[in-house]
Structure 1
């Protein structure tokens, strides 16, 4: 904004000022030239009067002729004391009378000539003419130091350029201040839009903006509404599709589970190879059905976890210890089947948030940990208060902590001793449908993405780190949510 519209306004306003300054200089020079031309014409009229002022030739041994200055010549000399003078010389240019500092000029004809000289810091305009007088042919010279054009050329820096430059600079500061003040509402609007989250498409108040940009704000609000409607339609479609898939998939999964169980019994009773082949196909079909059912449930959870979908819902006080204790039994059977030690280290902690979303987040993290931890491994669920640098610096009561925990935050954490995630893949692991390279087991790449989406709803983010370092390097994964 500042380098674009503001600079353009400054240039558009300062350019006319600079043009006016140049025009002013030009007219000053033209005015001085007109006055100088009038001065030349005045000298041209006075030259014959100066020649007529010679009434007789000089008497020996004096060379100076006898003179009686005409009234006009006398007024001219007295009206410019120190800035006017005359010089009389014979036909060869030898000085006869007047001012000795006026240089010797020898006109070749009887036509008047004009010259400019500088003496004692003053520029003089000199008119010289060879003419006949009562003392014979003389060279008559008349000097005028009040020529405005000659003085203008000398004093142009201090009397014309410098004042105009100061005027332009002062006008530039004034215009810059005025433009900055005038554009302040636009800059504040730009900053407000830049500070918005990419998911915040709420309308901008048109009455809080200048009248000139209110049509633009109205158009932006209309665009926000269209994008919101489109996103809401997509969310509804995903949620509806996932929801409609859950019932038939659940029935299909129940049927396949029954077939798989029957196939296992037949296989255990020593049936022929055809039955064994059929049992293998049914088990593969069961696994595919489980993955499809899990994908439908995760898509539904992802749609429900969208930040826009929860914006209008009120938050509530969530007891994290109770939440962890309720999640643990849901995954004990899966952990027991793999011989995984599933433990809980929970301390009392409360936070303001969405209980059903935090339950979904914790469930996804525990499910991932149990799924990818090798048999005989360990998975630990933790929660509790933790020192919060921001809360400590603020010195106030942290919103998400119970009474008596004003300088503390809270955390949820799931830790395992599985293969872990390489540091360069942790950012991508939070993206949808991304599976870490070398991952063994079933999965759709949505578990961490759903958990991260829920973390964003609670104005936080997941922190991934190693659990420990062994002989082969770091291993295990610790996923923490700080609130």
Structure 2
């Protein structure tokens, strides 16, 4: 059954949408600001033009009146101002409120009825729409001009400007989308290459991903993936090694079990059957011990060792709790066990340290002959706590001491049965506790001394 794909979101589409939205928003905001600024500027220019036109018409009116000696000449006034007739309306009044000049379409009533003595800009309402007005007197205060312009004319020009801004936006957005789409696709091309590379790989292909063409923002992800591939490779190699070693080591006790069973099945001699049964029991015990050690070793392998609870405890108390069992075994084997325990507080996982201690004690008693001596001590050495187990048994040659921590390694002249996993387990537990192992010569110039150095736990006051 195929697993349904989880609903996700597209980084490419999200990035494109955000950039496009931000760009359009900034553009619209800028366009509004430009439009408002241009509208303000255009109003000032319109007012300036309106005032200049009024002053020009007022000068023409004075000139016409002086030439005609008081006779009106409306036709002349109109002909001189054809360019204003489309939008502008004007009136020229004398000091007695008589209309002197006006252009066509202009009413004969004043635009500004309360303009006596006033000058400047204003707003009036005429024909149901607002008009901009300007009123001014000549220097002798004999003639007054009133000029008005419809606001629709100004709005029409502002509207055309706004239309051009909007049209430019509508034209630029498709080009902007196309450009951003091309740019985002180009940026994400390296991610697509990585995706295709990983998708086409076989399950056991854990080669490192190339970093050369990846952008800086993607390289941390690729570095993390490469570190993951490296850890998975190491874990796979450890599992393959573990499985291979376990299969190799289990072959011997299983072969012995099979051989003893065949002897039991075929022989009719009671003595031979009893010997075969004893050998069968020993082979089963050896296989059971080996499986137990393999399971212990597997529990101490990364990443499971990271989950051990490390709590500050007295190492001497842990050893005291175990002493009766080992004292009994030492007495049974005819070995003298000397004990010296001082308080030593360390951060430890109690269960795994018990395994470490039992393996070291088991090795010491196993490889020390009857009449020999084993010393167990716990002492504080500066900022460290030392657990030391020394014996005067067969020992380990100095050139072989580094190899004894390898899995299934056993000395060729060791006659005592064993799996070769004990010290490998001890090394894993020591590493988990960030402790160091020191192998030296044992008691009386022979044997072996194993010292496990832990960092002492310092209680905060």
TM-score range, shorter chain: 0.3 to 0.5
TM-score, normalised to structure 1's length?
A: 0.42
